[in-house]
Chain A
Amino acid sequence: NAGVTQTPKFRVLKTGQSMTLLCAQDMNHEYMYWYRQDPGMGLRLIHYSVGEGTTAKGEVPDGYNVSRLKKQNFLLGLESAAPSQTSVYFCASSLLAGGIGQFFGPGTRLTVL
């Protein structure tokens, strides 16, 4: 089992460019999450999904969109990147409700110039 994988691992964007981060899990988990991690801020939830075809907003959803067309994939989109979106992005999945026992991916380091 690969667990949770994220693509790409690193990316540099210019302000205004768009991109999609892909998260895939092979554990048949219902729940998937996107977080961003900034120094001193811990992990902040961007969007999450409680099942295929569903999405919901987290703490910091502005500037991001998500889709969960297939159970195993959770996509995070930036339509018009801004320097404030420079961060490390983690995807996670969990079998149980309430985010219990989340498995995290290795992260994507994004820099927006």
Chain B
Amino acid sequence: GQQVMQIPQYQHVQEGEDFTTYCNSSTTLSNIQWYKQRPGGHPVFLIQLVKSGEVKKQKRLTFQFGEAKKNSSLHITATQTTDVGTYFCAGPGNQGGKLIFGQGTELSVKP
């Protein structure tokens, strides 16, 4: 079945270092979404990418959608302790209305 894979599963960085998480789909996606979940919290929608090769920025966060629309990445420049949490990518399922989430990348930031 359709799968969305994320790597790495965990990433520990020193504050100020950069961080990247990668998302790969077994099928071509019409769009990809990214969510952030703080420890003990619930997922919060960050962004949606739709176009092949699209790049979007939110302050220190840069999101990319691959040319083949099967992969995506989230890059955080100069991490801060407020970036701590788990980042999930999600793509639409084969049937309308569904989202398939990756397993998430848990980011910890050491001050």
Contacts and interface: CB of A to CB of B under 8 A. Distances in A.
B48 A99 contact: no
B44 A104 contact: yes
Interface string B90-111: 1011011111111110000000
Interface in B28-55: 30-31, 33, 35, 41-45, 48
A41 B97 contact: no
Interface residues of B, number: 26
A45 B98 contact: yes
A102 interface: yes
B101 A42 contact: yes
Contacts of A99: 33, 90, 92, 97-99
A106 B40 CA distance: 9
A9 to B, nearest CB: 12
A100 to B, nearest CB: 6
A50 interface: yes
Contact of A56 (B6, B41, B97): B97
Contacts of B93: 45
B101 A44 contact: yes
A98 B44 contact: no
Given A45-B99, A98-B30, A103 B92 contact: no
Interface string A72-113: 000000000000000000101000011111111111000000
24 contacts: A31-B97, A42-B6, A42-B101, A42-B102, A43-B43, A43-B90, A44-B101, A45-B98, A45-B99, A56-B95, A56-B97, A58-B98, A92-B43, A98-B92, A99-B90, A99-B98, A100-B31, A100-B48, A101-B45, A101-B48, A102-B99, A104-B43, A105-B42, A107-B42
Interface of B: 6, 9, 30-31, 33, 35, 41-45, 48, 88, 90, 92-93, 95-104
